[in-house]
Chains A and B, each alone.
Chain A
Amino acid sequence: KAGVTQTPRYLIKTRGQQVTLSCSPISGHRSVSWYQQTPGQGLQFLFEYFSETQRNKGNFPGRFSGRQFSNSRSEMNVSTLELGDSALYLCASSNGQAQETQYFGPGTRLLVL
C-alpha cells in the first residue's frame, strides 16, 4: 500500500499571501489530521477531517482552514500568511477509530518571508 503523500514538499511564500497544502491518505483511510511542527512549539494539532466533515479542531486562528473531498484527500489553507506560520506541516491518516495507529506523511515545509 502506498503511504501518505503530501504536496508540495517545499514552499516559499511572502507575508500576506495564502497557501494551500494537499494530503492524500493511505487507500481506505477516512480520517486525515493536520499538525504544525515548529522548533519552539513542537507538534500541535490543527484539525481532523473524517468522511468530509471536520471532527476536531485545535487552537489555531481562523486563518487556518481545511476541507476533505469524497476520495478522502484533504487540503489545508492558510490565508494572510505571517512569519510565524513558517513550519513543517504534517498530515496523518487512519481509519478513524480511536484505537488505531496514525500514519504520517513526509510533510510540507513552508517558509514565509
Chain B
Amino acid sequence: KQEVTQIPAALSVPEGENLVLNCSFTDSAIYNLQWFRQDPGKGLTSLLLIQSSQREQTSGRLNASLDKSSGRSTLYIAASQPGDSATYLCAVRRLYNQGGKLIFGQGTELSVKP
C-alpha cells in the first residue's frame, strides 16, 4: 500500500531564507508526483508536476526534484516571502491506471516571518 510522508509537519523561517520541503513515498511504482499549495480554508493550487521519467521541474522560485528509486521528492523554495506562507502537499499517482486517484501526504505548514 502506497504511503506518502512529509517532514517536517511545520516549518517557520525568516523572510529571504531558502528552504527545502521533503516528501517520501513507500512504493516507487509511481506515474508522477505533484506538489500543491493550500491556503487556510481554501482549495489546492497546483505548483509543479513531475513525471516519473523526469528528475526535476522548475517554476519561478520553485524547484521540485524526484528520486524514484529512493522514494523521495523535495520542493526547494528560493528567497522565501511572507506570501509563501501556506500548507504544501505532495501527492503521487500510482503507475497503473489509477485515473484521477492521488495519494497525498499530510502536508508541511510553512510560515515565513517578515
Q: Which residues of A contact B (CB under 8 A)?
A: 4, 31-33, 35, 42-45, 48, 50, 55-56, 58, 88, 90, 92, 94, 96, 98-107, 109
Count chain B residues whose beta carbon lies closer than 8 angstroms to a beta carbon of A.
26
Bound complex: CA of A39 vs CA of B101, how far in Å?
20
Residues of A within 8 A of B43 (CB): 4, 90, 104-107
**Chain A residue at smallest Cβ distance from B32:** A99
Bound complex: CA of A62 vs CA of B107, how far in Å?
28
Bound complex: CA of A55 vs CA of B96, how far in Å?
13
Q: Is B62 an interface residue (CB 8 A)?
A: no
Bound complex: CA of A83 vs CA of B99, how far in Å?
30
Residues of A within 8 A of B104 (CB): 42-44
Residues of A within 8 A of B91 (CB): 43
Nearest CB on A from B71, distance (A): 19
**Chain B residue at smallest Cβ distance from A58:** B101
Given A56-B98, A101-B49, A103-B46, 6 more A-B residue pairs with CB atoms under 8 Å apart are A56-B101, A92-B100, A96-B99, A96-B100, A104-B44, A107-B42
Count of chain A to chain B residue pairs whose CB atoms are closer than 8 Å in the complex = 72
Bound complex: CA of A42 vs CA of B34, how far in Å?
16
Nearest CB on A from B47, distance (A): 10
Query: Is B102 touching A109 in the complex (CB atoms < 8 A)?
Result: no
Return the contact of A48 from the options B32, B45, B101 (Cβ within 8 A): B101
Nearest CB on A from B67, distance (A): 19
Say yes or no: A99-B51 contact (C-beta < 8 A), given A33-B100, A56-B101: yes
Return the contact of B34 from the options A45, A48, A102 (Cβ within 8 A): A102
Residues of A within 8 A of B69 (CB): none
Residues of B within 8 A of A33 (CB): 99-102
Query: Is B101 touching A43 in the complex (CB atoms < 8 A)?
Result: no
Bound complex: CA of A11 vs CA of B89, how far in Å?
25
Nearest CB on B from A47, distance (A): 9
Interface residues in B20-41 (C-beta closer than 8 Å to A) = 31-32, 34, 36, 41
Query: Is A102 touching B106 in the complex (CB atoms < 8 A)?
Result: no
Residues of A within 8 A of B68 (CB): none
Residues of A within 8 A of B45 (CB): 104
